[in-house]
Amino acid sequence: MIFIRRPQTNPFFNIAAEEYFLKNSREDVLMLWQSEPSVVVGKHQNVMAEVNMDFVHENNIPVIRRISGGGMVYHDLGNINLTQISSSRKAYQLIDFYKFTQPVIDFLKQFGLEASFEGKNNLTVNGKKFSGNSAHVFKNRVIHHGTFLYNVDLDRLEKVIYPGNGHIIDKSIKSIRATVGNIAGYLENPVTTEAFMQQLELFLKDYYHISTTADITPEEQLAIEKLVEEKYTRWEWIMGYSPKYSIRQEKDTEYGKFQVALEVKEGIIADIQLVFEGKQQEKTEQKLLGQKHDKIHLRKILADNRFSEVIINTLF
């Protein structure tokens, strides 16, 4: 196993780097890394049903889709990400969250903390979740990766989560809400996130008997940046990959009652019925049909409609 240094904090690059090394490296790999504020959703999740899109737009927080399953997570520079890529000839041995998380549990014992493995893939301390983990298999290789809440902005973490009101109907994978906590809050003498990550790095290198440390090469950098451009920053992957969903909603406004029945496939409005005070709004429906189900985009489409903001609020 080799340790790959990851000083990059661009969230798109960091998520793309995981896929790159999973599919292009033959070595077993261990990486620790951090990202600037960002929201990362699981491969099979519906972004609209998971993320508070108004909040992330207002605060310029990017949303990224990863290749592994599981639920949504929030990243910032108070979060440490742990990635392990390994190979096995036996498919049933590939995914093992107990094995992947055990060194983290052992590491925290040094600080007098008793971490527990709970549910399918979570770690907790004192009943509060500080780590969620997921995995993805590619041929005979697997990537295990997880978050490690050390000193994350927990207020922002809560605000990026979609509050939900039951009007989105889908069959996507749902994030499981949990009470979370930062590890720094349990330490008598907390250090900076960077210093704590260095301690974790030394522990893991010893745990896995790692003697080789490498940097991302210029060639690998270019290949990862290409993957970012061609996949990870594209709307079709971030939003369009969401499972199909529908919205049924009605709202009483100062102008009257608006009702909507909406079907969205691959992020595109595939069918829509918009009714105002009992009268179907066919011209508006035609304008919206085939458009991206995205507030910013739809505001441009309805710029000349005096009810535009009311309609848009009914569509989300």
In the chain the domains, ranked by start, together with CATH numbers, are 2-238 (3.30.930.10), 245-314 (3.30.390.50)
State the pLDDT at residue 91. Answer: 61
State the pLDDT at residue 163. Answer: 82
Collect the ranges in the chain with pLDDT lower than 50: none
List of E strands, 69-114: 73-75, 79-87
Tokens 């790095």, residue?
Answer: 201
State the pLDDT at residue 161. Answer: 93
Tokens 């978050």, residue?
Answer: 147
Residue 23: which of 220, 254, 249, 289 has the closest Cα? 220
DSSP letter, residue 94: S
pLDDT digits (tens, 9 = 90+) for 178-205: 899 999 999 999 999 999 999 999 999 9
- Has this prediction a pTM greater than 0.85? yes
Tokens 């925290």, residue?
Answer: 108
Mean of all residue pLDDT scores within the chain: 94
State the pLDDT at residue 165. Answer: 66
Please tell me the distance from the alpha carbon of residue 143 to that of residue 120, in angstroms, as a whole number: 16
pLDDT digits (tens, 9 = 90+) for 54-105: 999 999 999 999 999 999 999 999 999 999 999 987 766 789 999 999 999 9
